[in-house]
Amino acid sequence: MVHQITREHAEQIFSEYSPFVFQIALLLTKSESLADDITQETFLQVFKKYHTYDRSKSMKPWIYKITLNTMRNMLRKQKWLTFISFEPESSQGNVVEKTIIKEEENEELWEEINRLSIKSKEVIVLHFYSGLKLSEVAEILDIPIGTCKSRLNTALKMLRKRLTKNGALKIRQGGNIYESN
C-alpha cells in the first residue's frame, strides 16, 4: 500500500523534526550553511520517500538515517569540489554553533568531539546530544548494535584519555552533565 503525504502532514513533519535535523547536521559539519542545505535536502528526500516509511516504527530514526545519508553525500561532494579546486562559500561566524557551545559550556569537549572520526562523532551526537537509544542509533546508521556499542566505547575512551590530560571530563546526556573525578 502506497502512503501519500498531505501538505498539512508534510508541514507538521517539517516543523516537528527540522530543528533536530539542523542541530545534528550543524554538530557534525560545524557549518551553518551546510547544515541548512542538509536540512533542506533531507526533507526533500523524506517527502519523496515517504511511501517507503514503515508506520509501525518511529519516524525519528527514519528521518535521522536520511539526514546522515544526505550529510555523507554532501560531504563527499564537498571533498570532491575541494579536490578540483572549487571551494563553496563557508558560513560567516557560525553564530548558532558558538551559541550552542556557550550555552552548554563545553567548548573543550566539543573540540575533542570534533577531532573524532565521523563514525565516532555520529554515535556520540546521536546518543548523547539527541538522546537516542543505542538501538535507534544502530538502526539509523544501519550497523549492528554491537558495532554501535563498540564505536561508542572507542569514542568515549578516546575522549576520556584526551580530556583527562586537561583535567576536565564532561559527558552530556539528555541535559545532564556527568563529571569524572
Q: Which residues contact 172 (CB under 8 A, 6 or more apart)?
A: 104, 106, 109, 128, 129, 178
For residue 3, the model assigns a pLDDT of 64
The Cα angle at residue 58 between residues 52 and 64, in degrees rounded to 5: 75
Architecture of domain 1-102: Orthogonal Bundle (1.10)
pLDDT score at 105: 43
Distance between CA 72 and CA 152 in Å, rounded? 19
- CATH level 3 topology of 105-181: Arc Repressor Mutant, subunit A (1.10.10)
Give the model's confidence band at 147: pLDDT under 50 very low, under 70 low, under 90 confident, else very high: very high
pTM above 0.85, yes or no: no
| All cell numbers assigned to 23 | 542541530
Residue 55's CB is within 10 A of a number of other CB atoms, namely 8
More confident residue, 81 or 137: 137
Task: Answer with the residue of higher pLDDT: 42 or 88.
Answer: 42
> Cα–Cα–Cα angle for 167, 172, 175, nearest 5°?
135
Domain boundaries, given as residue ranges, for the chain: 1-102, 105-181
Maximal C-alpha separation, the chain: 57
CB of 129 within 8 A of CB of 172? yes
